[in-house]
Structure 1
Amino acid sequence: MSFDRVLVVGAGQMGAGIAQVVAASGREVLLHDALPGAVGRGLETIERSLGKLHEKGGPDPETVLPRISAVDALTSADLMIEAIVEDPEAKKALFRSADEALPAEAVLASNTSSIPITELAAATSRPERVIGMHFFNPVPMLALVEVIRAEQTSDETAEAIVALARDLGKTPAEANDFPGFVSNRILMPFINEAAYALMEGVAEPEAIDTVARLGFAHPMGPLALADLIGLDTCVAIMDVLHDGLGNPKYAPCPLLRRYVAAGRLGRKSGRGFYEYG
């Protein structure tokens, strides 16, 4: 399989990062988002990111940016990488539309961090060509790509996506299709327990994060990381884990739910566990 023309759907933080690394690999990228103005903001994010990387010896923005084009609708490509909101029904609807819009031989990939790939595959007429391709934030900086096979994914599709991840300069880690896969099966309970420690008055946010950074050698504490991911996204992933595994230990901390209800979503809203300018 050859992925010379890639459609990225969703121009938010993750979608923009994915578009950037795919374009930097020399491929043509088509960037689409149904939200008005989202693609423009995504392109601005990419330009800023490329500028910072170029100062450190990264690729020339004038070489990479022309490879990215905004498109108003789903269009023909060799590969679609979906990076929209973490909502099962929204993703299924998109996969049904992409199944109709893209050539029969195209691969449909999802950047979901927790939603079952098997369910997304079942929404299409090409389940053997559906796969999970979970990047990590910030995409241009972090090397990992979690590759998740649906029950229906063919060996050919999985091998091609693993090879693509390596060609993008990433390290693929293959996982089976269980709720949360590997990364969030481990990460989200860690974040959730940190939220409980805060809620129960064990320590303040700065102290909790300092323990993780200096005691566990983590580059970022769990509460700061939750703010970066988005507290609403954390709750959505915990709900998938809780529903899919049926274990009460995966239920979101009440403090997380309260913050989300109050609009404290993290960096993107200006306030989560911390306040941002």
Structure 2
Amino acid sequence: MKNVAVIGAGTMGNGIAHTFAQNGYQVQLIDIAEASLLKGLQTIKNNLDRMLAKEKITEADKEATLANISTHTDMKNGVKNADLVVEAATENETLKLKIFKDLDEFCASETILATNTSSISITKIATAVSNPSRVIGMHFMNPVPIMKLVEVIKGYNTSEEVLTSIFKLSEAIGKVPVEVNDYPGFVANRILMPMINEAIETLYNGVAGVYEIDTVMKLGMAHPMGPLQLADFIGLDVCLSILNVMYDGFKNPKYAPCPLLVNMVMAGKLGVKSGEGFYDYSENKKAEVLAKQFKK
């Protein structure tokens, strides 16, 4: 496999495209919005510049990586020569099912169809295609060019050949693949999201403030980032979506989203992407704690 199409130019999509392109793969980055493609490419350029400044890559490496990426707003044209498609669109089941239905029509029969979903059933997504054996989960971690883990999720009908191919491919791009079974939240989010939700509950119940909760987890548990700051970076809307998937899948109240999280998402306070979440990310504040907002 040397030709990879990536659907979605957002945080995960442009990171996946960057990683494949830097490892010599031809990448077609696809998004319905031209503005999103331009923003995604600029993010890739900025990340490459940071790597160049740290002498992790050369100027030739940077130019070769960018030369390996082409952009498309038309999915049919973007995926026509792909050996692998990695879907990294919004975490919305209806949208993903529609994308995979289209991929089933647009792609060659031997093309492997992967999804970067962080919680939605691979088996369910595979129902949208005529041959579900070629559908698999590739859950990358953010930031993709840096984080080593790829959760490889085998759906009920995913073939062993596809699983083996994705393991080899993940290793070829410098990642560490880990096989995970297809249950809500897989492994990473089944463990991570209840912790983030509990941190929000702790704040909601007035046990401690944002700074205090994050500091306890960083200094006491050796986490590189506190759970509330991490939630901001993931996106509070994404956290809410994942918790809802797990709550619906397990019918267990321990996965029920905290009311504070629900209210913040409804208010548009989504974290870094909106400029404000548990911290203020505006230029003059630089991630200042928004303690005043969090009263029960």
Q: CA deviation at 1:111?
A: 0.3
Q: 1:153 aligned to 146, 158, 170, which one? A: 158
1:63-100 Cα deviation digits (max 9, x unpaired): 11000000122221110000000000000000000111
Aligned to 1:206: 211
In 1, are the aligned partners of 2:34 and 2:73 still within 8 Å (CA)? no
1:122-179 Cα deviation digits (max 9, x unpaired): 1101210000000001111111000000000000000100111111101111100000
Residue 188 of structure 1 pairs with residue 193 of structure 2: yes
Q: 1:103 aligned to 89, 99, 108, which one? A: 108
Distance 1:93 1:35 in 2: 17
Aligned to 2:145: 140
Q: CA deviation at 1:57?
A: 2.7
Aligned to 2:72: 71
Aligned to 1:49: 47
1:212-250 Cα deviation digits (max 9, x unpaired): 111110100000000000000000000000000110110
Q: CA deviation at 1:20?
A: 0.2
In 1, are the aligned partners of 2:33 and 2:73 still within 8 Å (CA)? no
Residues 1-277 of structure 1 mapped to structure 2, 5 A cutoff: 3-59=1-57, 60-74=61-75, 75-76=79-80, 77-277=82-282
Helix, strand or coil: the match of 1:179?
A: coil
So what's the TM-score if we normalise by structure 2? 0.92
In 2, are the aligned partners of 1:28 and 1:67 still within 8 Å (CA)? yes
Helix, strand or coil: the match of 1:37?
A: helix
- CA-based RMSD of the aligned residues comes to 0.7
> Which residues of structure 1 form unaligned runs of 5+?
none
Amino acid at match of 2:69: I
> Which residues of structure 2 form unaligned runs of 5+?
283-296
Share of identical aligned residues, percent?
A: 52
Distance 1:130 1:138 in 2: 24
Tell me which moved more, 56-65 or 111-120. 56-65
Distance 1:80 1:28 in 2: 12
Q: CA deviation at 1:58?
A: 2.7
Distance 2:56 2:73 in 1: 30
1:165-214 Cα deviation digits (max 9, x unpaired): 11110111110000000000000000000000000001110110001111
Distance 1:99 1:56 in 2: 42
Helix, strand or coil: the match of 1:31?
A: strand
Helix, strand or coil: the match of 2:47?
A: helix
Helix, strand or coil: the match of 2:153?
A: strand
Amino acid at match of 1:270: G
Amino acid at match of 1:111: N
Q: CA deviation at 1:24?
A: 0.7
Across the two proteins, how many residue pairs are aligned to each other?
A: 275
Amino acid at match of 1:210: T
In 2, are the aligned partners of 1:230 and 1:267 still within 8 Å (CA)? yes
Aligned to 2:294: none
Amino acid at match of 2:20: V
Helix, strand or coil: the match of 2:189?
A: helix
In 2, are the aligned partners of 1:50 and 1:58 still within 8 Å (CA)? no
Amino acid at match of 1:43: L
Distance 1:124 1:43 in 2: 30
Larger Rg: 2
In 1, are the aligned partners of 2:139 and 2:150 still within 8 Å (CA)? yes
Distance 2:172 2:131 in 1: 24
So what's the TM-score if we normalise by structure 1? 0.98
